Amino acid sequence: MGEQNLHFSALVGSRICHDLISPIGAINNGMELLSMSGTPPSPEMALISQSVEAANARIRFFRIAYGAPSETQLMGRSEVTQLLRDITRDSRLVLNWLPGEDVTRSEVQLVFLAIQCAEQALPYGGRVDIERQDDLWKLTLEAERLALDPALWDAFEQHAAQTQNSSDAIIPAHVQFALLPMHASAMGRRVQYVQQDGKVILTV
Protein backbone atom coordinates (compact mmCIF):
# COMPACT_ATOMS: atom_id res chain seq x y z
CA MET A 1 0.00 0.00 0.00
CA GLY A 2 1.51 3.31 -1.08
CA GLU A 3 1.63 6.46 1.03
CA GLN A 4 -1.33 7.96 -0.87
CA ASN A 5 -3.45 4.84 -0.33
CA LEU A 6 -2.44 4.73 3.33
CA HIS A 7 -3.64 8.32 3.73
CA PHE A 8 -6.88 7.48 1.91
CA SER A 9 -7.56 4.51 4.20
CA ALA A 10 -6.98 6.80 7.20
CA LEU A 11 -9.54 9.26 5.85
CA VAL A 12 -12.04 6.41 5.51
CA GLY A 13 -11.36 5.41 9.12
CA SER A 14 -11.89 8.98 10.31
CA ARG A 15 -15.16 9.26 8.38
CA ILE A 16 -16.57 6.01 9.77
CA CYS A 17 -15.67 6.92 13.36
CA HIS A 18 -17.10 10.43 12.91
CA ASP A 19 -20.41 9.07 11.63
CA LEU A 20 -20.67 6.45 14.40
CA ILE A 21 -19.95 8.77 17.32
CA SER A 22 -23.10 10.87 16.77
CA PRO A 23 -25.72 8.10 17.18
CA ILE A 24 -23.83 6.66 20.15
CA GLY A 25 -23.82 10.13 21.73
CA ALA A 26 -27.55 10.36 21.08
CA ILE A 27 -28.14 7.07 22.92
CA ASN A 28 -26.10 8.36 25.84
CA ASN A 29 -28.13 11.59 25.92
CA GLY A 30 -31.31 9.54 25.89
CA MET A 31 -30.11 7.53 28.88
CA GLU A 32 -29.38 10.75 30.77
CA LEU A 33 -32.87 12.08 29.99
CA LEU A 34 -34.43 8.86 31.27
CA SER A 35 -32.51 9.12 34.53
CA MET A 36 -33.56 12.76 34.94
CA SER A 37 -37.21 11.88 34.29
CA GLY A 38 -37.35 9.74 37.39
CA THR A 39 -37.06 6.35 35.73
CA PRO A 40 -35.85 3.99 38.49
CA PRO A 41 -32.41 2.38 38.02
CA SER A 42 -32.39 -1.17 36.72
CA PRO A 43 -29.79 -3.76 35.68
CA GLU A 44 -30.92 -3.34 32.07
CA MET A 45 -30.39 0.44 32.15
CA ALA A 46 -26.99 -0.01 33.78
CA LEU A 47 -25.96 -2.52 31.10
CA ILE A 48 -27.00 -0.15 28.31
CA SER A 49 -25.08 2.73 29.89
CA GLN A 50 -21.94 0.62 30.32
CA SER A 51 -22.18 -0.60 26.72
CA VAL A 52 -22.58 2.94 25.39
CA GLU A 53 -19.57 4.14 27.39
CA ALA A 54 -17.47 1.21 26.15
CA ALA A 55 -18.49 1.81 22.52
CA ASN A 56 -17.77 5.53 22.82
CA ALA A 57 -14.29 4.86 24.22
CA ARG A 58 -13.48 2.30 21.54
CA ILE A 59 -14.53 4.62 18.72
CA ARG A 60 -12.39 7.46 20.14
CA PHE A 61 -9.48 5.02 20.33
CA PHE A 62 -10.07 3.74 16.78
CA ARG A 63 -10.36 7.29 15.45
CA ILE A 64 -6.78 7.91 16.56
CA ALA A 65 -5.41 4.47 15.66
CA TYR A 66 -7.02 4.19 12.22
CA GLY A 67 -7.95 7.77 11.34
CA ALA A 68 -6.03 10.54 9.62
CA PRO A 69 -3.07 11.49 11.85
CA SER A 70 -1.79 14.98 12.57
CA GLU A 71 1.90 15.79 12.95
CA THR A 72 1.15 19.13 14.63
CA GLN A 73 -1.78 18.41 16.95
CA LEU A 74 -0.57 17.49 20.44
CA MET A 75 -2.17 15.16 22.97
CA GLY A 76 -1.43 15.57 26.67
CA ARG A 77 -0.73 12.82 29.17
CA SER A 78 -4.09 13.23 30.92
CA GLU A 79 -6.01 12.89 27.64
CA VAL A 80 -4.15 9.76 26.58
CA THR A 81 -4.26 8.05 29.98
CA GLN A 82 -7.98 8.76 30.39
CA LEU A 83 -8.71 7.18 27.02
CA LEU A 84 -6.60 4.12 27.86
CA ARG A 85 -8.45 3.74 31.16
CA ASP A 86 -11.77 4.03 29.36
CA ILE A 87 -11.03 1.26 26.84
CA THR A 88 -9.71 -1.14 29.51
CA ARG A 89 -12.45 -0.58 32.08
CA ASP A 90 -13.83 -3.92 33.33
CA SER A 91 -11.08 -5.80 31.49
CA ARG A 92 -8.01 -7.72 32.68
CA LEU A 93 -5.66 -5.58 30.60
CA VAL A 94 -3.65 -2.73 32.16
CA LEU A 95 -2.15 -0.08 29.86
CA ASN A 96 0.46 1.98 31.71
CA TRP A 97 1.38 5.20 29.85
CA LEU A 98 4.67 6.48 31.29
CA PRO A 99 5.61 9.60 29.22
CA GLY A 100 4.77 12.86 30.95
CA GLU A 101 5.23 15.19 27.99
CA ASP A 102 2.75 16.09 25.25
CA VAL A 103 2.96 13.89 22.15
CA THR A 104 1.88 14.49 18.56
CA ARG A 105 -1.25 12.70 17.40
CA SER A 106 0.74 10.83 14.74
CA GLU A 107 3.03 9.40 17.45
CA VAL A 108 0.02 8.38 19.54
CA GLN A 109 -1.43 6.68 16.47
CA LEU A 110 1.72 4.59 16.19
CA VAL A 111 1.44 3.55 19.85
CA PHE A 112 -2.28 2.78 19.60
CA LEU A 113 -1.67 0.48 16.63
CA ALA A 114 1.07 -1.21 18.67
CA ILE A 115 -1.40 -1.58 21.56
CA GLN A 116 -3.82 -3.31 19.20
CA CYS A 117 -1.03 -5.76 18.32
CA ALA A 118 -0.28 -6.24 22.03
CA GLU A 119 -3.93 -7.06 22.73
CA GLN A 120 -3.69 -10.00 20.32
CA ALA A 121 -0.87 -11.45 22.43
CA LEU A 122 -2.71 -10.91 25.73
CA PRO A 123 -6.08 -12.67 25.32
CA TYR A 124 -6.18 -13.51 29.04
CA GLY A 125 -5.17 -10.05 30.21
CA GLY A 126 -1.86 -8.66 31.36
CA ARG A 127 0.09 -5.44 31.57
CA VAL A 128 1.64 -3.18 28.94
CA ASP A 129 4.12 -0.51 30.02
CA ILE A 130 4.47 2.21 27.39
CA GLU A 131 7.56 4.40 27.49
CA ARG A 132 9.51 6.63 25.16
CA GLN A 133 13.26 6.22 24.75
CA ASP A 134 14.84 8.93 22.61
CA ASP A 135 12.86 8.81 19.33
CA LEU A 136 11.50 5.30 19.82
CA TRP A 137 8.52 3.81 21.64
CA LYS A 138 9.00 0.77 23.84
CA LEU A 139 6.05 -1.39 24.88
CA THR A 140 6.75 -4.09 27.47
CA LEU A 141 4.14 -6.84 27.60
CA GLU A 142 3.82 -8.99 30.72
CA ALA A 143 1.30 -11.72 31.48
CA GLU A 144 1.02 -15.15 33.03
CA ARG A 145 -0.02 -16.47 29.63
CA LEU A 146 1.30 -14.89 26.45
CA ALA A 147 -0.12 -16.00 23.11
CA LEU A 148 1.99 -14.60 20.29
CA ASP A 149 1.13 -15.69 16.78
CA PRO A 150 4.55 -16.07 15.09
CA ALA A 151 3.04 -15.61 11.63
CA LEU A 152 1.91 -12.12 12.63
CA TRP A 153 4.76 -10.99 14.84
CA ASP A 154 7.63 -12.33 12.72
CA ALA A 155 6.24 -10.36 9.78
CA PHE A 156 7.50 -7.20 11.50
CA GLU A 157 11.11 -8.34 11.26
CA GLN A 158 10.71 -9.71 7.75
CA HIS A 159 8.81 -6.63 6.57
CA ALA A 160 6.33 -9.14 5.10
CA ALA A 161 3.37 -7.09 6.28
CA GLN A 162 4.31 -4.44 3.73
CA THR A 163 4.16 -6.74 0.70
CA GLN A 164 1.11 -7.04 -1.49
CA ASN A 165 0.74 -10.80 -0.95
CA SER A 166 0.79 -10.57 2.84
CA SER A 167 -1.61 -7.63 2.82
CA ASP A 168 -4.04 -9.74 0.83
CA ALA A 169 -3.71 -12.53 3.42
CA ILE A 170 -4.42 -10.26 6.42
CA ILE A 171 -7.87 -10.74 7.92
CA PRO A 172 -9.81 -7.77 9.40
CA ALA A 173 -9.03 -8.80 13.00
CA HIS A 174 -5.30 -8.49 12.28
CA VAL A 175 -5.22 -5.35 10.13
CA GLN A 176 -3.15 -3.57 12.80
CA PHE A 177 -0.23 -5.90 12.02
CA ALA A 178 -0.18 -4.59 8.44
CA LEU A 179 -0.79 -0.93 9.27
CA LEU A 180 1.76 -0.58 12.09
CA PRO A 181 4.87 -1.25 9.93
CA MET A 182 3.42 0.90 7.15
CA HIS A 183 2.94 3.91 9.41
CA ALA A 184 6.31 3.24 11.04
CA SER A 185 8.05 3.15 7.65
CA ALA A 186 6.39 6.44 6.68
CA MET A 187 7.96 7.95 9.82
CA GLY A 188 11.38 6.41 9.17
CA ARG A 189 10.99 3.72 11.83
CA ARG A 190 11.12 -0.07 12.05
CA VAL A 191 8.97 -2.37 14.14
CA GLN A 192 10.93 -4.93 16.16
CA TYR A 193 10.20 -7.26 19.04
CA VAL A 194 12.02 -9.64 21.36
CA GLN A 195 10.64 -12.24 23.76
CA GLN A 196 12.64 -12.81 26.92
CA ASP A 197 12.12 -13.69 30.60
CA GLY A 198 8.39 -14.13 30.12
CA LYS A 199 8.05 -10.67 28.58
CA VAL A 200 7.64 -9.28 25.08
CA ILE A 201 9.34 -5.99 24.24
CA LEU A 202 7.96 -4.22 21.17
CA THR A 203 9.82 -1.18 19.83
CA VAL A 204 8.83 1.20 17.07
Residues of the domain holding 62: 1-68
What DSSP letter does each residue of 30-99 carry, written as one string?
Answer: HHHHHHHTTPPP-HHHHHHHHHHHHHHHHHHHHHHHHS---SS-EE-HHHHHHHHHHHHTTSSEEEEE--
Q: What is the mean pLDDT of the chain?
A: 88
Examine the fold and report which residue of 68, 87, 102 is the final residue of a domain before the chain moves on.
68
Q: Give the range among 40-44, 58-62, 66-70, 85-89 with minimum mean pLDDT.
A: 40-44
* Pair 49, 99 in one domain: no
* Pair 127, 187 in one domain: yes
* Pair 7, 62 in one domain: yes
Examine the fold and report which residue of 53, 68, 83 is the final residue of a domain before the chain moves on.
68
Which of 51, 15, 16 is CA-nearest to residue 31? Answer: 51
Counted domains in the chain: 2
% of the chain at pLDDT higher than 70: 92
Laid out side by side, the sheet with 199-203 consists of 93-97, 126-133, 136-142, 199-203, 192-196
pLDDT bin (cut points 50, 70, 90) of residue 79 is very high
